[in-house]
Structure 1
Amino acid sequence: MPYTPQHKEQTRQRILHAAAKLFCSQGFDRVTLTQIMKKANMTHGAFYAHFSAKSSVYEAAMAFASSHAFWARDDKQTESKEIHIKALVARYLRWSKNDKEHPSPLEFLVTDAAHKEEKVRQAYQACFDSLVERLAAILQKRGSQNAYALAEETVVSLVGTVAMARSFTQPLQKDFIKRAQKRIVGRLNVNHEKTLEPVYVM
């Protein structure tokens, strides 16, 4: 008896969920198809019913992670309410304790941005652009000048902070992140924090 479209979609979502968790924590090169299917609790053969190669599942998994990340999940809230920038930055920089159910694409290893496979680079770029646009929209609502440029600079700073922090040991890592958070929030909150009622994103 053939599988129903609903069953096939559920299977695909299981693979994407497992792949997103692995790619977001380890990067493209360190993850194998065997690991993905084991985490999804499925046989290796089931993979090719949905994806043609690892780069294909990476592309789909990164889009999945981006759409389920904490910033994306707050779209409806931010249509009428202000997000507290400090809360967003702090949430991101807690990468080691991040949402385990819905991994954030902000956890990417920066090596994926310069990967030899074009599809991997494009997937990374698409998620990066999505995060910049999301932050830019928030900054525009706050009345920031040059919101897109400031958002781009902020995402670069956040990604760079996490990439560097991964190589540090405690307590150097904690102190480094704390200093970076203070600098980033300071740039974003100039002339804005005193005039707006924040809503914390948890």
Structure 2
Amino acid sequence: MPYPEGHKQKVRGKIIESAAQAFRTNGIRDISVPFIMKGAGLTHGGFYSHFDNKEQLVGEACRYAINDTIALLQKAADQEKQEPQINAIIGYYLSPYHRDKTEMGCILPALSSEISRSSDEIRQVFTRELERMIEFISNAAQVDSATGSALLSTMVGTLVLARSVSDSKLSDSLLSAGKQQIKGLIKSYVATEL
């Protein structure tokens, strides 16, 4: 009996989603194809009917994770009625919730250090996805690309440090300080544009 139309795409999507969640939580190197397939509710034997290799899956998972992050940040922005939308984006990104939910969080802080030692193919995909995030942040903050890059870099760096420490008070204070610095950077940009 043949599978219904769209079945292969649906299965492929489940694998990508499982990989994105696993990579966000544990990185690339320590996650095996069988682990990803199990997370998708599948046996690892079917992997190669969807992907040529793990590198191809890493690229697809990066795209998926960035799409997911942009959608979450846009949702936070759309719910904000009072402040500039960028403040809602910053608030969500540097929240204890986002810090603690690594499996659904932004992939940039989760993989940046590992990607720098990856293949050119993976680095190219990661670069394009980083550029999309910079564009999203720049547009939301209504700043140029250089300022958007600084905003995102500060957000990612803050989240990396907040996730790295064992002291919850220090972690919270890092998130708070990051928010203040980023909002200050936006204000100084706006002031120089006037």
Bigger relative contact order, structure 1 or 2 (CA pairs below 8 A, ≥6 apart): 1
Alpha-carbon distance, 1:47 to partner: 1.0
Distance 1:139 1:179, change over 3 A: closer
Is this contact kept in 1: 2:25–2:102, CA < 8 A?
no
Structure-to-structure mapping, 1:40-189, within 5 angstroms: 40-71=40-71, 74=74, 84-94=85-95, 95-98=98-101, 103-140=105-142, 144=143, 147-170=144-167, 171-189=169-187
Alpha-carbon distance, 1:4 to partner: 4.0
Within 2, Cα distance between the matches of 1:91 and 1:72?
A: 9
Percent of residue pairs bearing the same amino acid type: 26
Aligned structure 1 segments of 4 or more residues deviating by more than 6 angstroms: none
Report SS of the residue matched to 2:6.
Answer: helix
Give CA-to-partner distance per residue, 1:85-109, whole Å, 9 cap, x none. Answer: 2211121123334496x54334433
Is this contact kept in 1: 2:62–2:107, CA < 8 A?
yes
Within 2, Cα distance between the matches of 1:5 and 1:104?
A: 32
Question: When the two structures are superposed, what TM-score results if normalisation uses the length of structure 2?
Answer: 0.81
Over aligned residues, Cα RMSD in angstroms? 2.7
Within 2, Cα distance between the matches of 1:112 and 1:83?
A: 34
Equivalent residue letter for 1:90: G
What corresponds to 2:8 in structure 1? Answer: 8
Within 2, Cα distance between the matches of 1:136 and 1:73?
A: 13
Equivalent residue letter for 2:187: N
Within 2, Cα distance between the matches of 1:136 and 1:172?
A: 29
Give CA-to-partner distance per residue, 1:26-70, whole Å, 9 cap, x none. Answer: 222122112111111100011111011111101011111222224
Within 2, Cα distance between the matches of 1:22 and 1:138?
A: 29
Distance 1:116 1:105, change over 3 A: closer
Within 2, Cα distance between the matches of 1:61 and 1:138?
A: 24
What corresponds to 1:37 in structure 2? Answer: 37
Within 1, Cα distance between the matches of 2:174 and 2:73?
A: 28
Is this contact kept in 2: 1:110–1:159, CA < 8 A?
no
How many residues of Structure 1 are paired with residues of Structure 2 in the alignment? Answer: 184
Instruction: Structure 2: give runs of 5+ residues left out of the alignment.
Output: none
Within 2, Cα distance between the matches of 1:167 and 1:72?
A: 23
Is this contact kept in 2: 1:67–1:73, CA < 8 A?
no
Instruction: Structure 1: give runs of 5+ residues left out of the alignment.
Output: 194-202
Question: When the two structures are superposed, what TM-score results if normalisation uses the length of structure 1?
Answer: 0.78
